[in-house]
Structure 1
Amino acid sequence: MRLKRLHIRYYPPGIILDYEKGGQERSRCIDLLHLTPDTDVNEVLSEIRRIEPLITDSRTDQVKVLIKRLQDKLSQPDERSFYLFKVLQAHILPLTNVAFNKSGSSFITGSYDRTCKIWDTVSGEELHTLEGHRNVVYAIAFNNPYGDKIATGSFDKTCKLWSAETGKCFYTFRGHTAEIVCVTFNPQSTLVATGSMDTTAKLWDVESGNEVSTLAGHSAEIISLSFNTVGNRLVTGSFDHTLTLWDVPSGRRLHTMIAHRGEISSVHFNWDCSLIVSASMDKSCKVWDAESGQCLATLIGHDDEVLDVCFNYTGQLIATASADGTSRIFNAETFQCVCKLEGHEGEISKVCFNPQGTRVLTASADRTARVWSVNSGSCLQVLEGHTDEIFSCAFNYEGDTIITGSKDNTCRIWR
């Protein structure tokens, strides 16, 4: 093995190694999830040297510089205020979802008008309209980090794979017998996973367009799915109150996780693939061991259904969104509630962290989105102007742009 290049990854902090093995170029990453501006650089360096044989004496100074650059990025103050940059009359019917590509240079919107649109973030210009579905385009996804393909899942029971550059449709994936309500790419961009009201999930090959496997076992619709970062595991969350962990290469069911007493609304892996979090209509979230499928903790406190949940990039924090109009932040190691975010006047359907993990963004039926401080739990900004409920919101990778999607048929860019 021969090391060729070293890169930096800001969110979550890490160093990427490009190396040659057997005449082939490969890459792997050293995650530095616990790095802070105060971490001893020499200690980090010696730990990297201990676990990574590619980092030899001749490379230590270079690695040291990269660690310091990561620390500099982490120590930058986050005092940004967002202003309304553009209002896009995006669709002729309400939006269903919004999503950024990795760089944040473009984003996509899905709609009840049966289309998905690709937008340029800087100009607000519509780049392409993806037409062909015969019913609501409900689930949309970029194949991040690459960002050159888009998957759309529709109530017409099909999923389509598109070129993000040209808007051309590569494949239409047929096989589900009911509406598709969730879709995601694996991190390697070789597979698309779809979840459907027909109680199954399916895996599709991006290259050939063929169905790879059908994941059957749930007894009600699959509402959420998530790959781990390695791409060898998929978790599905269902209205049958359970989660299922699947082995991706074989399509085999590894664990059925039973503990919730209501429908599942959202499931996610953390970055290092050790934990899974689930949100449920039973007013709670649960944290699970991703290897054994055991329930480690129940996150309680909400007075109504929990509609969304997510980890921050490093996997140390969990944010929840509830129909009770509040959001909560939990420590993912102690499972304690760190702060409660109060101020919305309607249910919160979507929550996400900025890449830095210093801010939380919430979208609500009260027609506003809010930006919150993770440290204090205080509301830093109310993003107002939509005339109907906001049900989708996202930060870009740098954390300096927000998009909000609303039932008022518009999408707003905030910078």
Structure 2
Amino acid sequence: MASEDGQDNDEILLHLYMHDYFIKNNMHETAASLRREASVPDNSVQIDHPQGILKEWWSTCSDIILKEYSEGETYAQMSDHMMQTEENQNTDDMLQQQQVICDQSLGFFTKDSKFHVSGKCHTDLHHKSFFFGEGRSLNCSTEEVLCCDFSSDGKLLAIAGREEKVLFWNTEDHNKFVTGESHSLPISDVRFKPNSTMVATSSYDKTVQIWDSAEAGKSPLKLQGHGDHVLSLDFHPRRMNLLCSSDRNNEIRFWDINQDSWTHIFKGATKQVRFEPRNGKLLATSSGNVVNVFDVQTYKLYAVFKEHDKEVQSICWDPDGKHIISISEDSARLWSVSERKSLHELSSTGNIFQCCTFHPWNWKFWIIGGYRSFELWNPFESNKTLTIDAHKELVSSLATSIEPEMVASTSYDKSVKLWASP
């Protein structure tokens, strides 16, 4: 039986319950968007619940989705969760209602979407609403791809690595173009200048180069002065002329790109440097197995985090600038910057952790790149993760675009992939 606008009654019911869930959990913008796009009617839901009935059966639906798109794997968690749901709800009618809506949710998430869910759930999670699927894949290099970064508007992705040039990928029309000139050795890091078409790259050739993606054929600005491989760099979020870079000698340089010269040198970073994203008052760095946080005005240490056993491979701020996640091969750690302490730790349990970024539409979740896969982790709730198959080799870097909501990943398998909400 179909309604006048062509929607099945079950689909209308699904949209009603999703809208109810969003409203009751203060997700009003999402609810409004769903109402517009799905023409959600004003009907009241048949089964009322303080947080929305979706809260009770969301995990069950998610496991069904994963089972459908995971090469026929079976999951013990499905049976356990359905038994628990049956006990809590105490009615067979409720289970039947859940099954109908879950079946419909398969179509809602995948059938009409250009993205597909490609993950495998190896452990149960309290929330599964952070699924994202692979959208586009680009075999962009004949060498290993090591780094990537989104422009502020998310329209361009800069990609670089051992091929020594910068490739720009338009995320809207998927056209790509490459810079004319290049470094003489592999590129270790690439970062967009905020709200700009400018990109900076660091390289093993001991230089920093600044490119304009709007003028790819133009020669880059070269900053020289480092005495060893330059391994990372970052633009300040507010002071548009300020660039920071670090090299293998543990040296940090601040550059005034308008003057083409460095302004200050101090010690404390080898692997990576990242400015706090809100106002840039702090700079987080990794040096060996230590994470340092410096005051940008005084160059003095604000905090030191020393609990990693192995070398820190990657660091990332959350968008609010309150927390840092740091990655070593054997663990991930979440730090409170203001409290100067470790809040949570996640063991790699055999995976090889390499890189990290925050989830684009739920900042409580973190995406950790490892060997061939991602681990999706909410450190505030659990040490359990969702594993998503991603690449054929080690995931070398991750980048997040908040608007539009996307994640990019690069790999030693010479490819880059875009991921978004299914």
Q: Same fold (TM over 0.5)?
A: yes
Distance 1:338 1:369 in 2: 21
Does the 8 Å CA contact 1:317/1:332 hold for their aligned counterparts?
Answer: yes
Judged with a 3 Å threshold, the aligned counterparts in structure 2 of structure 1 residues 306 and 377 are, in CA distance, closer, same or farther, namely farther
Q: In structure 1, what residue type is equivalent to 2:359?
A: N
Does the 8 Å CA contact 1:158/1:174 hold for their aligned counterparts?
Answer: yes
Q: In structure 1, what residue type is equivalent to 2:231?
A: I
Distance 1:123 1:334 in 2: 37
- Secondary structure of the 2:340 match is coil
Counterpart position of 2:226: 218
Deviates more, 1:399-408 or 1:188-197: 399-408
Give the total of aligned pairs: 304
Alpha-carbon shift at residue 382 of structure 1 (Å): 3.3
Give 5+ residue unaligned stretches, structure 2: 1-27, 34-50, 71-113, 116-131
Pairing 1:14-413 to 2, within 5 Å after superposition: 124=135, 135-147=143-155, 149-161=156-168, 163-165=170-172, 172-174=179-181, 176-209=183-216, 210-211=218-219, 213-230=221-238, 231-259=240-268, 264-271=270-277, 272-280=279-287, 282-323=288-329, 325-355=330-360, 356-365=362-371, 367-383=372-388, 388-393=393-398, 397=402
- Secondary structure of the 2:164 match is coil
- Secondary structure of the 1:250 match is coil
Does the 8 Å CA contact 1:140/1:151 hold for their aligned counterparts?
Answer: yes
Per-residue deviation, residues 289-310 of structure 1 (Å, max 9, x unmatched): 1223222221110111111111
Distance 1:386 1:153 in 2: 17
Judged with a 3 Å threshold, the aligned counterparts in structure 2 of structure 1 residues 152 and 327 are, in CA distance, closer, same or farther, namely closer
Deviates more, 1:369-378 or 1:156-165: 156-165
Higher helix proportion: 2
Alpha-carbon shift at residue 208 of structure 1 (Å): 3.9
Distance 2:381 2:404 in 1: 19
Higher strand proportion: 1
Judged with a 3 Å threshold, the aligned counterparts in structure 2 of structure 1 residues 171 and 224 are, in CA distance, closer, same or farther, namely same
RMSD across aligned positions (CA): 4.0
Does the 8 Å CA contact 1:189/1:206 hold for their aligned counterparts?
Answer: no
Does the 8 Å CA contact 1:389/1:407 hold for their aligned counterparts?
Answer: yes
Distance 1:179 1:408 in 2: 16
Normalising by structure 1, we get a TM-score of 0.61
Judged with a 3 Å threshold, the aligned counterparts in structure 2 of structure 1 residues 302 and 248 are, in CA distance, closer, same or farther, namely same
Alpha-carbon shift at residue 380 of structure 1 (Å): 4.1
Per-residue deviation, residues 377-414 of structure 1 (Å, max 9, x unmatched): 52243335866544444556379876666556786958
Q: In structure 2, what residue type is equivalent to 1:294?
A: K
Identity %, equivalent residues: 21
- Secondary structure of the 2:179 match is strand
Distance 1:203 1:399 in 2: 25
Distance 1:134 1:331 in 2: 40
Per-residue deviation, residues 107-141 of structure 1 (Å, max 9, x unmatched): xxxxxxxxxxxxxx978356x776xx675544333
Does the 8 Å CA contact 1:199/1:218 hold for their aligned counterparts?
Answer: yes
Counterpart position of 1:41: none
Distance 2:172 2:403 in 1: 22
Give 5+ residue unaligned stretches, structure 1: 1-67, 88-104, 107-120
Counterpart position of 1:26: none
Q: In structure 1, what residue type is equivalent to 2:258?
A: P
Normalising by structure 2, we get a TM-score of 0.60
Per-residue deviation, residues 335-377 of structure 1 (Å, max 9, x unmatched): 2111112353233111222244311222223x54322223245
Larger Rg: 2
Does the 8 Å CA contact 1:187/1:229 hold for their aligned counterparts?
Answer: yes
Per-residue deviation, residues 233-292 of structure 1 (Å, max 9, x unmatched): 2111221212212123222212222135xxx22211112111111112x21010011223
Does the 8 Å CA contact 1:284/1:299 hold for their aligned counterparts?
Answer: yes
Distance 2:178 2:410 in 1: 27
Judged with a 3 Å threshold, the aligned counterparts in structure 2 of structure 1 residues 177 and 342 are, in CA distance, closer, same or farther, namely closer
Does the 8 Å CA contact 2:147/2:410 hold for their aligned counterparts?
Answer: no
Does the 8 Å CA contact 1:241/1:258 hold for their aligned counterparts?
Answer: yes
